[in-house]
Structure 1
Amino acid sequence: MKEKKSHYSTVPEHYILSPESEPWLERFIFNNRGIVMLLLAIITMVFAYGLSKVTLDASIEKYIPLNHSYIQNYLVHKDEMKSGVANVKIAVEVTNGDVFTAEYMEKLSKISDEIFFIKGVDRSGMQSLWTPNVRWMEVTEEGFQGGPVIPSTYDGSKESLEVVRQNVLKSGQVGRLVSNDFRSSIIDVPLIEYDPETGEKLSYGQFSHDLEEKIRSQFSDDQYKIYITGMPKKLGDLLDGAKSIGGFFLMAMIMTAILLYLYSRCPKGTVVPIVASLIAVVWQLGSLALAGFTVDLYSVLVPFLVFAIGISHGVQIINGIAIESGKGASPVQAARQAFRGLYVPGMLALLSDAIGFLTLLFIDIGVIQELAIAASVGVAMIIVTNLVLLPIVMSYIGISRSGVEHARKSDANPAAIWRGLSMFANRKVAPIPIVIAIVMAVSGYYYSQGLKIGDLDKGAPELRADSRYNLDNAFMVSNYSTSADVFVVMVETAREHCNSFKVMDAVDRFMWYMDNVEGVQSTTSLVTVSKLVTKAMNEGNLNWSALSRNQTILNTSIQRAPAGLLNPDCSMAPVIVYLNDHKAETLETAVAAVEKFKEQFDDHVDEKYFGYGMAEMDEAIANGEIDSAPVRFQLASGNAGIEAATNQVIADAQNTMLIFVYVVVFVLCFMTFRSFTAVACILIPLALTSILSQALMTYLDIGVKVATLPVIALGVGIGVDYGIYIYNRLEVMIVAGKTMQEAFFETLRSTGKAVSFTGITLAIGVATWIASPIKFQADMGILLTFMFLWNMLGSLILLPALASFILRPERMKARHKARHGDTPPAG
């Protein structure tokens, strides 16, 4: 066979420029370069217009599993309860003295008035010492007496303040709206999520800014301090933190440009891949915006990943063009040959990425599903921008002389590290990394058994422990008796029967049961009110602190029950369970306890009785159809109930998602390489990284949750690229007749060099996330950095070691000949 000599390895001449080996796709693209470029320019302008339509959405519904049974139960009673997720608590603390001063009351009044007029506040449900719905009550010789905590006669005098003090003590709000040390009080602010006039969603970002500007900034000073908690405020703070993502993106782009220039020594080879990857980002965001999608706190990270994946594949193209240019090929010939050798593994890798990301659709949580769609669309765009646009542009401008010279010098004097790494393809050395990998896999799997589902930290784990929000939350927890982690169980019955003795007795027994569950701080319900009022009606005698079997007494005892402890038709009475925290173990324990208790009520009553009214129910009882009003304990509401539902969805979906990711990658790799051994070489290093990453999460106390679960699919999807490129080039060299070690050495000099550069560059880029004020972004940065580096090492060390034992060069040559005849492999 005729050979062409160069500074590079000896390669058959017709392998480099033979028209017979041109795929139809290559001919179509490069024979119509002008038309293709014009079409791509038009598409870019359309999507650039769509980029102007991108909006940031932080709706609470997107962060919870709307189809989960707990959430469905909550939505049925959403408008009847005051313990939903769209509530904000604002504490006003006086640094000297207590709340019973004229100055404090005046300050609290001004703050309450200011909050009252902030857009999005449900004014009818707002509670503070100044709102008329916060009342006191007592029983005297003349009967019940009560009224607003701050009476209409209040004038700021010492006498009035003493009346307020007594009213607060009688109201039962100490530890709830008033702190245990009497140095602060809370303003409880429910929100209206949709504007009743315009129908527009409430902007939590704007609402958070309003609280900061109109409340904290305006009223905080040396004497008074403001503390704000609640999911809407947390989302607002996350949105503010998300603005830093742009800075990290710019930092990563600059670092990538510097490293890419040092790698290629070609200004054009540096700028074009970056521009092509940025165009992919524009296409992704623009297309999603035109399709009606919005950007949220999680999908806002996707453009960086799209850019990173684009750079990963762009480096391979530039590397291939530089090598061909160093052999004397013209810019067009170099671009065509690079495309010919890389479009199959490139498209395989990108399809694996895209379909792998789509497996996140298994998780029934809006933000994760939209992240899956956004990432898949972005990868689809990269197929065009980096495998079509980039080589066409380079076919016009070519690699600079400095880039070509650098490529020639690098090839003439290959780094010693490549010769060293090539030893792992030698059967005498290969057992070492294989044994180490087995030990690490077994150890990692054993250690990863401690991996938890859900949050493992107190406060808002999405934010840093020293963030403003978490400091505010710590103040609330330490100064008030009621926990910020509320788990609500909805007790359903027939209409107008929530106050019947049988129903309230079941609730009473349930509360006693839950009060003795580990992790439960306290419980409250309609029963709590009934017992307190009954005791008060009997001169405070503790013997009367119990449920009365007399229905008239029960009816009287709940006449003034606070809103939210029963619904208008008395068919549902929630039990509010205050938890110590919302850690995964606490939620699992609480849910398991409720499920165990409710077994005695489930499936024992016909569904029709829950729809009966008073007369129908009484008739059914009189006829002996049923002994008493039906009772059903429904999980769950409150922020802790929502968290428990989310954890269950993630627990159910994580293994399914991971299995499907690997199945997809397996099928695509097998369809491409038609070899089980090839698939094994690619997937085994990938599986090792997955095991070790779960062990790392266990070590760092990072739970599997909404923020971290996508990393598993992202790490597998992006990591498979390395193995595909390495194996494809290795197969080409083996079919060309080289020994395993020499084939891997040649692979390292070209593709391996690009893979190592890509892995290190991407790892450095995402490592900048570790400094983010958003903890979930920092966690993602740690995990992605680890997965990028470890996937790279796996493809450079473990893959060749496995290949040296399980690949059969003669079979590979025979398989290639059967499929392609005597045509040499592209690459």
Structure 2
Amino acid sequence: MSGSISQNIAGALFNARKVVLILFVALTALLGYQASKIQLNTDISKMVPLGHPYIQNYFEHKNDLNLGNDIRLIVAETQGDDIFNEDYMTALKEITDAVFALDGVDPSKISSLWTSNVRWNEVTEQGFQGGEVIPAGYDGSAQSLDQLRTNVLRSGQVGRLVADNFQSSVVHAHLLDALGEDGVDIPALSASLEEIRNTYQEKYPNVRVHIVGLAKKAGDVMSAAQEVAMFFFLTLGLIAVLLLLDTRCIRSALTVSICSFVAVIWQLGIVSTLGFTIDPYSMLVPFLVFAIAVSHGVQIVNTLANYVSSGLSSLDASKSTLQALVVPGMVALVSDAIGFLTLYMIDIGVIRELAMAASIGVAVIIITNLIVVPVVLSYLGVGAAAVRKIQAGDTKDHPLAGLFARFTRPGMAAASILLAIVGYAGGIYLSQDLKIGDLDKGAPELWPDPCEEMECPRGYEPKDRYRYNHDVNFLVSNYSVSADVLVVMGKTPQEACNTYPAMQAADDMAWALKNVDGVQDVATIASATKMIATNMNEGSMKWATISRDQFALNNVMSFMPDSLYNLDCSLTPIYVFLDDHKAETLDRVTKAVADFSETRNNPDVIQFKLASGNAGVEAATNQTIEASQYPMLALVYAVVSILVLIAFRSIRAVICIIVPLGLTSILCQALMAQMGIGVKVATLPVIALGVGIGVDYGIYIYSKLSEYLKQGMDLESAYKETLKTTGKAVAFTGITLAVGVIFWVFSSIKFQADMGILLTFMFLWNMIGALWLLPALGRFLLKPASVAK
């Protein structure tokens, strides 16, 4: 039945091959124009699991809270002993003014030594005294600088806005709502911040500016991601050259390369037409589309060259090639497309868009490569050198073909299956250490600072790829405030956030969290109340407590920072400063909050809700990925297995194709665990996408092998013939694609380098599994009578 379908499809397409090519050219021009309008995604909300309870809680109270979307410019004095000199303070003032002028910054929420909201206070015999940190009438004189030093010491900002060693200070700015409809233009903001850095470092040689914050990190990733295009074209050129060396036919090599590139154009054009964008995480999709297209193109060229070498004309050979490959090719591509689409179950915008983009890209390959390549080659044919190479291969066995054919023998097959079982067991054991989320300090998307573990030499200027994490290390090393903040929301009845029961519960939670490993400090309305009460009573520490007198608590509120409560006093945030945002740290802290909330939540007093802050978003993302990881992989394998079963109508075929694929996935997870690569937004899709490419190898090999078995050949002879055609193409594709992605290790983006390592491993192991383990399984599962007719 499948044979008659193949014949009908091939006959219809070749009867209208001129029309097919005209439509192909017209669609390429149209979709090429649409592809030129594709835009880089700058929406941070697409990197957040919007359906997660943590994020839903944030949206419920977003008018009262900050998502952790802020930036800090640390202005460092590099030549003097401290910041209390005229040149430094002039530079700090100008930088503060420049931050005020930035688009996307909330001007009402900027803090520096030069802003009026940074004040000092002290308790005297006459009561509270205070004022702005910058003295009235400041003129840069030694006297005013001495007064400034005194005011800073009285402000409580040492360790927060001023470094512990007094050699730098911070300009802290909150951004406008990044998750709203009018989100911040991240690349533009990041570029403006870099302009501030460069301008004032050049103007004031004694000043160095360090910039940290979620928006700056995202901007640096997006900026560095532009070089992904360079890697794509490098890979395209390399694969084209290797394809030419393998086929020895410039016509077929160019045809496959051009049609594969057109598949990328079609994919980008359709994605752009549907209103989608690209982002740093989905930038690997065009490469994967190109890679999958090339893998199918290689199969077509090898099959066509074999038909020509047997005496068929270019037209008949092309028609026979399409007839032979249309069913296995479509099964493989549909399996890829539906498999990639299963990523859509993960409730994170960038992964869902990646799933759609990859599925669309694979679907268009059915036209651009599976159909168009044979049609084009029916006119161009293949070169005489390619035919002579095929004919020479028919007269002698390739050494590797003889080696792999031995795996069909009972002894070698049994040893191979035993080795695969050991590989499964070892992979499962080693992958037990696989972690969800980030495993490094700072921004794991970018390269770690080389001098993280030691003091940087004076005058050290990091390269761009290290700059952000260098800036993070500078903040962590010189300030008491962490860049990783988890915000717990304390919801109370209206006008009740300053009642004794609510404050005591918040204080108890702070105490519990301070004893959790990984927590630096906790700031609450209760801790501020204790400090204010102490100051109101001549600094006596015996007053550092929460009064049970509501009138006393009401009096305290007149001095309370507005960041610790909302307008109607129905919400009080608990700020938890963390050592880092490693997955295990977030797990410990969120579990401690959840355990405390379970026993202390009371709707009449206070209810604690997770979570806001950059660490809260990270925790929500980790939990979403952890919940989706294995169901997604199970669904991918289920879909692929069902489609293989439908195509070949054989459980034996499913086992032969899926078992090698599963071994690669297990070993890939073990590799990630041993290399310290966590499962996160950047790496989770790679595992699923690797399955999609790997299944193509198995389907093509099994399809050709079953064809020879139907002719009555024994398994070893059938596999030898398979290796001469399909097996050779699989080996070439696997090695070529691995060589192409290995250069990603030189990327400025660390997660792209990680992707390169993982994809290289999966390309090679999928190839090895298909060539080595599939025939070994076939020894015990396949017989001519068992292959579907």
Measured against the shorter chain, the TM-score band is: over 0.9
Q: CA deviation at 1:200?
A: 4.8
Q: Residue type matched to 2:737 in 1?
A: L
Look up the match of 2:299.
Answer: 316
Look up the match of 1:32.
Answer: 16
Q: Residue type matched to 1:424 in 2?
A: F
Distance 1:739 1:698, change over 3 A: same
Look up the match of 1:167.
Answer: 151
Q: Residue type matched to 2:444 in 1?
A: P
The answer on whether the counterparts of 1:496 and 1:571 sit within 8 Å (CA) in structure 2 is yes
The answer on whether the counterparts of 1:58 and 1:297 sit within 8 Å (CA) in structure 2 is no
The answer on whether the counterparts of 2:715 and 2:783 sit within 8 Å (CA) in structure 1 is no
Distance 1:742 1:217, change over 3 A: farther
SS in 1 for 2:563: coil
Distance in 2, matches of 1:440 and 1:296, equals 36
1:648-687 CA-partner distances (Å, limit 9, x unpaired): 0000000100100010011000001111111000000011
Distance in 2, matches of 1:86 and 1:510, equals 24
Look up the match of 1:555.
Answer: 554
SS in 2 for 1:661: helix
Q: How does 1:535-550 map to 2 (within 5 A)?
A: 535-550=534-549
Look up the match of 1:515.
Answer: 514
Distance in 1, matches of 2:421 and 2:284, equals 34
Q: CA deviation at 1:772?
A: 0.8
Q: Residue type matched to 1:156 in 2?
A: G
Q: Which residue of 57, 82, 104 corresponds with 1:120?
A: 104
Look up the match of 2:747.
Answer: 772
Look up the match of 1:469.
Answer: 468
Root-mean-square deviation (CA, aligned residues, Å) is: 1.5
Look up the match of 2:208.
Answer: 225
Count of aligned pairs:
769
Q: How does 1:621-660 map to 2 (within 5 A)?
A: 629-660=604-635
Q: How does 1:39-78 map to 2 (within 5 A)?
A: 39-78=23-62
Distance 1:201 1:74, change over 3 A: closer
Distance in 1, matches of 2:168 and 2:15, equals 76
Deviates more, 1:145-154 or 1:528-537: 145-154
Distance in 1, matches of 2:582 and 2:167, equals 29
Distance in 2, matches of 1:148 and 1:389, equals 73
Q: Which residue of 441, 444, 453 corresponds with 2:436?
A: 453
Q: How does 1:386-465 map to 2 (within 5 A)?
A: 386-465=369-448
Q: Which residue of 90, 94, 102 corresponds with 1:106?
A: 90
Look up the match of 1:755.
Answer: 730
The answer on whether the counterparts of 1:566 and 1:574 sit within 8 Å (CA) in structure 2 is yes
Q: CA deviation at 1:413?
A: 2.9
Distance in 2, matches of 1:175 and 1:195, equals 30
Q: CA deviation at 1:301?
A: 1.6
The answer on whether the counterparts of 1:180 and 1:479 sit within 8 Å (CA) in structure 2 is yes
Distance in 2, matches of 1:177 and 1:218, equals 19
1:576-616 CA-partner distances (Å, limit 9, x unpaired): 001111111111000110011001234x54xxxxxxxxxxx
The question of 1:336 aligning with 2:335 is answered no
Distance in 2, matches of 1:255 and 1:300, equals 19
Distance in 2, matches of 1:424 and 1:782, equals 28
Look up the match of 1:806.
Answer: 781
Look up the match of 1:696.
Answer: 671
TM-score, scaled relative to structure 2: 0.96
Distance 1:581 1:20, change over 3 A: closer
Distance in 2, matches of 1:691 and 1:640, equals 30
The question of 1:179 aligning with 2:163 is answered yes
Q: CA deviation at 1:412?
A: 2.5
SS in 1 for 2:663: helix
Distance in 2, matches of 1:201 and 1:452, equals 32
Look up the match of 1:662.
Answer: 637
SS in 1 for 2:72: strand
The question of 1:211 aligning with 2:193 is answered yes
The answer on whether the counterparts of 2:200 and 2:207 sit within 8 Å (CA) in structure 1 is no
Structure 1: any 5+ residue segments left out of the alignment?
Answer: 1-18, 606-628, 817-827
The question of 1:244 aligning with 2:227 is answered yes
1:517-550 CA-partner distances (Å, limit 9, x unpaired): 1111110011121111100011100100111111
Look up the match of 2:239.
Answer: 256
Distance in 2, matches of 1:22 and 1:98, equals 80
The answer on whether the counterparts of 1:521 and 1:580 sit within 8 Å (CA) in structure 2 is yes
Q: CA deviation at 1:440?
A: 1.3
The question of 1:133 aligning with 2:117 is answered yes
Distance in 2, matches of 1:20 and 1:662, equals 29
Look up the match of 2:702.
Answer: 727
The answer on whether the counterparts of 1:136 and 1:167 sit within 8 Å (CA) in structure 2 is yes
Structure 2: any 5+ residue segments left out of the alignment?
Answer: 450-465
Distance in 2, matches of 1:474 and 1:194, equals 25
SS in 2 for 1:498: coil
1:316-343 CA-partner distances (Å, limit 9, x unpaired): 0111111111112111111111111111
Moved over 4 A (4+): 19-22, 193-196
Q: Residue type matched to 2:503 in 1?
A: M
The answer on whether the counterparts of 2:38 and 2:277 sit within 8 Å (CA) in structure 1 is yes
The question of 1:530 aligning with 2:529 is answered yes
The answer on whether the counterparts of 1:526 and 1:566 sit within 8 Å (CA) in structure 2 is yes
Deviates more, 1:466-475 or 1:206-215: 206-215
Identity %: 49
TM-score, scaled relative to structure 1: 0.91
SS in 2 for 1:517: coil
Look up the match of 1:360.
Answer: 343
Distance in 2, matches of 1:791 and 1:22, equals 27
The question of 1:682 aligning with 2:654 is answered no
Q: Residue type matched to 2:437 in 1?
A: G
The answer on whether the counterparts of 1:693 and 1:786 sit within 8 Å (CA) in structure 2 is yes
Deviates more, 1:220-229 or 1:649-658: 220-229
